[in-house]
A and B are shown apart, each in its own frame.
Chain A
Amino acid sequence: AQSVTQLDSHVSVSEGTPVLLRCNYSSSYSPSLFWYVQHPNKGLQLLLKYTSAATLVKGINGFEAEFKKSETSFHLTKPSAHMSDAAEYFCVVSEPGTYKYIFGTGTRLKVLA
């Protein structure tokens, strides 16, 4: 069975410092992995996705994530946080050929001025 664990429910960083949001997954197959962002009172927006091509995936707004099979991780990073990055971030796993997305419980990112 698939599952995804976001290791931190809240992360605070200062503006201009790096961001690291951690995600570990469990899947019997080679999964597809996604990061979504949800700004307050807005819908979910796809940041990036991994689908068995390059292990380092670049997304929108300067975010990227690296798929590490040996560590079953898919951590989200950004070199320099911006105030507009404050939002909730969800890691998602899906098995190939299925339509079901399994969501993590989310990490709320706070960016301090």
Chain B
Amino acid sequence: GAGVSQSPSNKVTEKGKDVELRCDPISGHTALYWYRQSLGQGLEFLIYFQGNSAPDKSGLPSDRFSAERTGGSVSTLTIQRTQQEDSAVYLCASSLLGSDQYFGPGTRLLVL
């Protein structure tokens, strides 16, 4: 079956612009996660959605970052007024409740 997909695969933007990153989880997976992978760093947890519960936003680095998940499926991560330090690979994962996380290929974001 289809895995987690993310779009775009690459995004180049100018400092100060807003960007939207999309994640399509595996069908039927109720949990969805966003991570950020900066150069030379491990993955940093950003946000977690589970069903209709309030998301855990504790990992979002600033109020320029937000995410939503519509209809319990597709999720969009939005970064407003991008900064150069936002350059990273943004990874999405999905899972069944309490089960293993399956990762997408990521979106590579470059802020010039």
Are A and B a genuine interacting pair, yes or no? yes
Residues of A at the B interface (CB closer than 8 Å) are 9, 34, 36, 41-46, 49, 90, 97, 99-106
Interface SS, A side: loop
A49 to B41 alpha-carbon distance, docked (Å): 22
In the assembled complex, the CB of A10 is this many whole angstroms from the nearest CB of chain B, namely 11
Could you say which residues of chain B place their CB within 8 Å of the CB of A36?
Answer: 103
Could you say which residues of chain A place their CB within 8 Å of the CB of B103?
Answer: 36, 43-45
Could you say which residues of chain B place their CB within 8 Å of the CB of A101?
Answer: 33, 43, 45, 101
Residues A105 and B106 in contact in the complex (CB < 8 Å), given A43-B91, A99-B48: no
Chain B 90-108 interface residues, beta-carbon cutoff 8 Å to A: 91, 93, 95, 98, 100-106
Pick the residue among B44, B91, B100 that contacts A49 (CB under 8 A): B100
Contact assessment for B45 and A90 in the assembled complex, using a CB-CB cutoff below 8 Å: no
Top 8 A-B pairs ranked by shortest CB distance? A103-B42, A44-B103, A103-B43, A43-B103, A43-B105, A105-B42, A43-B104, A104-B42
Contact assessment for B41 and A105 in the assembled complex, using a CB-CB cutoff below 8 Å: yes
20 A-B pairs in the complex with CB atoms less than 8 angstroms apart: A9-B40, A41-B105, A43-B3, A43-B106, A44-B91, A44-B93, A46-B102, A90-B42, A99-B50, A99-B56, A99-B98, A101-B101, A102-B45, A103-B42, A103-B43, A103-B44, A104-B42, A105-B40, A105-B42, A106-B42
* Interface band, chain B: 20 to 34
Residues A100 and B48 in contact in the complex (CB < 8 Å), given A43-B3, A43-B106: yes
Pick the residue among A34, A46, A100 that contacts B45 (CB under 8 A): A100
Contact assessment for A46 and B100 in the assembled complex, using a CB-CB cutoff below 8 Å: yes
Contact assessment for A42 and B31 in the assembled complex, using a CB-CB cutoff below 8 Å: no
Residues A99 and B105 in contact in the complex (CB < 8 Å), given A43-B4, A90-B42, A104-B42: no
Residues A90 and B50 in contact in the complex (CB < 8 Å), given A43-B4, A44-B103: no
